[in-house]
Amino acid sequence: MDAVWVVYGILAFPGVASLISLSKQWKLGAASTLFASFISLILSLYLFFQGNFSTSWFYVDFVSRAMLLVISTTFIMGSFHAYFCMDKMKEFFLKPNYYWLLLNLFALTMYLAVTTPSLGYGWMWLEASTVVSAALIIVERGKSHIESAWRYIIIASTGLGMALLAIIIYGRVSGNLLWIHQSELATGALLVGVLGLLGFGTKVGLFPMHTWLPDAHGTAPSPVSAMLSGALLPSALIVFYRLYGIVWSETLFTITLVFGILTVIVAGTMIISQKKFKRLLAYSSMDVMGIATVGIALTYYSSYAIIYVLIVFGIHALAKSSLFLMAGTLKRRGLEDVDKIRSLIRKSPAMAFTAVVSALTVTGAPPFGMFIGEIGILSVLAKIPHLSWLAFSFLLLGILLSFLGLNYWILKMVFPEEDEDLSLNLKAKDVSVPLLGSFFMLGLTVLIYSWLIWGWSL
């Protein structure tokens, strides 16, 4: 099969499913979305093992192929969990069939953002994803949903406005908007890089432009939070990575590194003081994106760093999606505050297993997959020519803070306390997707180790 047709397939299935979702029968939309997410995952998996190619519409390299897989993974997890929990959703602000329509469009915009050869269209699809995901945040009725969506659109779109400015200046200087086949930009183009970092960084949730992130992740339905965290933030960072490769400046490297490290430290500090489970997870996502930003910055010194970033994205997509879906299940049973969730191991061993494995993974505990990614990034950081020990120490401090913060809360939720009687009334369908997600994550970890030990060629 020609690889380009596989890409068309990945795009066509959610596209058709979104059209079917226009039907007033929400079950028809749901069924087509489940089918589309499944086929997209299979096609993404097939494409992952194919070679690079480009057309006037697509540029598919190893990074794009890995990102397609990351997006498909969160899409399928989000879709199935959304279907299983549809009866638990609160009153709809939009009609239920629009929920499925928007889920498909959300996946579609991200697929397009990571496969385009044009910075302009990369920006456009990310901005379109803002519109779609904001609508998904307000899909359930509630004032907090509306305020979160408002903050999200205003802050993310304003930030992306800076990125558009960067792209316009780039278009002026280079004569087109393509990022492929470009030599480095002339002197003065550092501005393009800094504006791009600020703009795309807002969408990624880098400090100090992160203020929309905890609200949006905290109030969105949990499948949407999973897709926001596991797929959208990495997609925005990958579009920035394309721009970073063109600007290619040591000053931009330093600025990106500082933003990444500050994000990790701030997120690590904020995690400790969180009261709501989903906001806690949102700050954890911010922490992981900070680490990935450091990895992107380090591609200036070692192109291999992008492999570690992609490992981080892949594992994070599975682990964080599992955690968000689990948090959503608990929230719908009135358990939103971290200090009220107790004794999960007694009430739902499956949920307790998911929580512990996913939290350990997402915080980089050995031997889980994220550990490989984080150690890889730290080892490249240790080799940079100037002040590597300082950057290394601060990044390690941030990673440790988030490790302690998230695992402290998760262990408090999981292990029993005396006289604790918690009735969750969970069914198998409530925990099946997060549990499967954590198993797949363990499987992916084994694959990563196999790749390291036997050097599988991708």
Partner 1 sequence: MIYYNAIIDFLGVLILIFGFAIIAENFIRTLIRHLQWQSSLLALLILAVGIYKGVYELVILSVLTVLFRGWLIPEILLKDVKKEGIWEHREISTSARHSLVIGIIVVISGFILYAGLYPLLHTWKAAIPFVLILLGLTIIILRKNAIAQISGYIVEENALLYIGVVLAPMGFLLEVGILLDIIGAVLLAVILGSEKEYGPLELEELSG
48 or 150: whose CB is closer to partner 1?
Answer: 150
173 or 447: whose CB is closer to partner 1?
Answer: 173
N- to C-terminal Cα separation, the chain: 18
Q: What are phi and psi of 178, to 5 degrees?
A: -75, 145
CB of 204 to partner 1, least distance (A): 15
Two structure tokens written together for 447: 């694959």
CB of 260 to partner 1, least distance (A): 19
24 or 143: whose CB is closer to partner 1?
Answer: 143
Q: Please enumerate in sequence order all residues whose Cβ is within 8 A of that of 158, keeping only pairs 6 or more positions apart, or say none.
A: 202
Burial annotation 240-262 (CB, 10 A radius, 16+ → b, else e): bbbbbbbbbbeebbbbbbebbbb
CB of 270 to partner 1, least distance (A): 9
155 or 224: whose CB is closer to partner 1?
Answer: 155
Contact 402, 326 (CB under 8 A): no
Residues within the interface to partner 1 (CB under 8 A): 93, 120-121, 124, 127-128, 130-131, 134-135, 138, 141, 143, 146-147, 149-151, 153-155, 157-158, 161, 164-165, 168-169, 171-173, 177, 186, 188-189, 191, 210-215
61 or 147: whose CB is closer to partner 1?
Answer: 147
Helix%, strand%, coil% for the chain, nearest 5? 75, 0, 25
143 or 386: whose CB is closer to partner 1?
Answer: 143
CB of 143 to partner 1, least distance (A): 5
Closest CA to 381 of 274, 289, 291: 291
131 or 272: whose CB is closer to partner 1?
Answer: 131
Q: Please enumerate in sequence order all residues whose Cβ is within 8 A of that of 289, keeping only pairs 6 or more positions apart, or say none.
A: 204, 205, 206, 233, 234, 237, 263
CB of 153 to partner 1, least distance (A): 6
CB of 196 to partner 1, least distance (A): 14
CB of 275 to partner 1, least distance (A): 13
Concatenated DSSP letters of 361-386? HHTT-TTSHHHHHHHHHHHHHTTSSS
Q: Please enumerate in sequence order all residues whose Cβ is within 8 A of that of 7, keeping only pairs 6 or more positions apart, or say none.
A: 47, 58, 60, 115
What CA–CA distance (Å, rounded) separates 430 from 81? 8
